[in-house]
């Protein structure tokens, strides 16, 4: 793989207008979808009771809803979960005088009374109070804010402001595009999804930093070269490493998506999409933004000179030695 991609000369920056147009349409569409349908929060954030049940044969959804309503929990959310035989039932946990643990027992008893003593099989039960859900929501927001703050602090010390601004905007693109993907896919936002979002931010930023480090190294070289060519050359030079890293991580994430089960599936989807959008932003967002900043606020000659290593001083020629006869006089 390293030898196949060695010495490539692909003009990545050339297609930046098309790439930005596509991602802008995707982000705007996803955010509109998010505004219309809202965030599909998990029970960890909303509080309540969740039952995952498995039937031997695909049941009538209307019969499940009628059973839950008859038990006194109207408005419960019933969704197919994986196969046509698996369903999740989410009931609010703030019913007056009823604890969230009691709701699970009531729903299980009502389902067994309607479908039989062994039908359906309760696979998983979760019960979280509204107070715990509010606390988890607050802690998740604090974790995201702290992560973004530490990221900005790191970039402030790691790069000069041109590189830092480009990296921050590329990271913001990754966050917005992942939220749009999450809204379009109607993935359930849980603590594992929050962990996936934080992982995507760090993963994308790492890829951008590697490319920008190579850009700085190439800018320090003595030969004059436009920044456009430096960006393309730097991306091509880091391409073998990027492909190997992304393929390895994508293979592990894909195995989680296919074989790890429904609980971890939202995390896998976010991670798999984060690999794609992180690679995309490092090439088509961070690079063009850096190029635009350089054209809008070009470096002074002194900055360019200081970015390159000082030319080695020429050694002085040794003074011609006098003849021995002249020294003995």
- Element holding 127 (H helix, E strand): strand 121-128
Q: What would the pLDDT profile of 288-321 be if each residue is shown by its tens digit? A: 888 888 888 776 654 554 444 444 444 444 444 4
Give the percent of the chain with pLDDT over 90: 3
Residues 76-89: what's their mean pLDDT?
79
DSSP letter (8 states) at residue 116: -
Strand, coil or helix: 78: strand
Residue closest to 53 by CA, chosen among 119, 103, 101, 99: 119
Residue closest to 174 by CA, chosen among 270, 271, 269, 278: 278
From CA 20, how far away is CA 96, in angstroms rounded? 51
From CA 157, how far away is CA 315, in angstroms rounded? 37
From CA 92, how far away is CA 43, in angstroms rounded? 9
What's the predicted TM-score (pTM) here?
0.70
Q: Name every residue whose Cβ is closer than 8 Å to that of residue 95 and which is 6 or more positions away in sequence.
A: 72, 73, 103
From CA 278, how far away is CA 272, in angstroms rounded? 10
Residue 63: alpha-carbon gap to chain centroid = 40
Q: Which domains does the chain have, with CATH numbers?
A: 13-38+133-307 (1.20.1640.10), 48-128 (3.30.70.3400)
- Is a pLDDT exceeding 60 seen at residue 170? yes
Task: Tell me what pLDDT residue 321 has.
Answer: 44
The tokens describing 224, both together, are 């004059």
Do the Cβ atoms of 42 and 124 come closer than 8 Å?
no
Residues 181-198: what's their mean pLDDT?
84
Q: Name every residue whose Cβ is closer than 8 Å to that of residue 160 and which is 6 or more positions away in sequence.
A: none
Do the Cβ atoms of 167 and 286 come closer than 8 Å?
yes
What's the sign of the alpha-carbon dihedral 179, 182, 186, 188? negative
Task: Tell me what pLDDT residue 125 has.
Answer: 79
**Bridge partner residues of 125 (DSSP):** 51
């Amino acid at each position: 793989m390293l030898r196949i991609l060695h010495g490539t000369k692909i003009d990545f920056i050339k297609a930046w207008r098309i790439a930005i147009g596509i991602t802008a349409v995707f982000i705007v569409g996803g955010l509109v979808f998010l505004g219309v349908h809202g965030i599909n929060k998990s029970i960890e954030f909303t509080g309540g009771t969740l039952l995952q049940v498995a039937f031997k044969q695909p049941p009538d959804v209307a019969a499940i809803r009628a059973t839950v309503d008859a038990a006194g929990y109207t408005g419960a959310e019933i969704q197919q979960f994986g196969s046509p035989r698996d369903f999740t039932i989410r009931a609010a946990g703030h019913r007056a005088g009823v604890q969230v643990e009691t709701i699970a027992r009531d729903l299980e008893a009502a389902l067994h009374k309607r479908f039989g003593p062994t039908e359906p099989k309760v696979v998983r039960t979760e019960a979280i109070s509204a107070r715990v859900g509010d606390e988890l929501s607050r802690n998740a927001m604090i974790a995201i804010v702290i992560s973004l703050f530490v990221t900005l602090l790191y970039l402030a010390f790691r790069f000069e402001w041109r590189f830092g601004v480009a990296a921050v905007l590329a990271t913001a693109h990754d966050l917005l595009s992942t939220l749009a993907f999450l809204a379009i896919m109607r993935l359930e936002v849980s603590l594992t999804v929050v962990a996936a979002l934080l992982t995507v931010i760090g993963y994308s930023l790492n890829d951008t930093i590697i490319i920008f480090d190579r850009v700085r190294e190439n800018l320090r070289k003595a030969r004059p070269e436009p920044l456009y060519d430096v960006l393309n050359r730097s991306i091509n030079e880091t391409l073998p490493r990027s492909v190997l890293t992304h393929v390895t991580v994508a293979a592990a994430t894909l195995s989680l998506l296919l074989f790890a089960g429904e609980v971890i599936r939202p995390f896998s989807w976010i991670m798999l999409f984060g690999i794609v959008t992180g690679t995309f932003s490092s090439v088509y967002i961070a690079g063009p933004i850096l190029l635009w900043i350089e054209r809008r606020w070009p470096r002074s000659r002194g900055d360019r000179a200081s970015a390159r290593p000082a030319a080695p001083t020429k050694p002085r020629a040794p003074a011609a030695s006098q003849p021995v006869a002249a020294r003995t006089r």
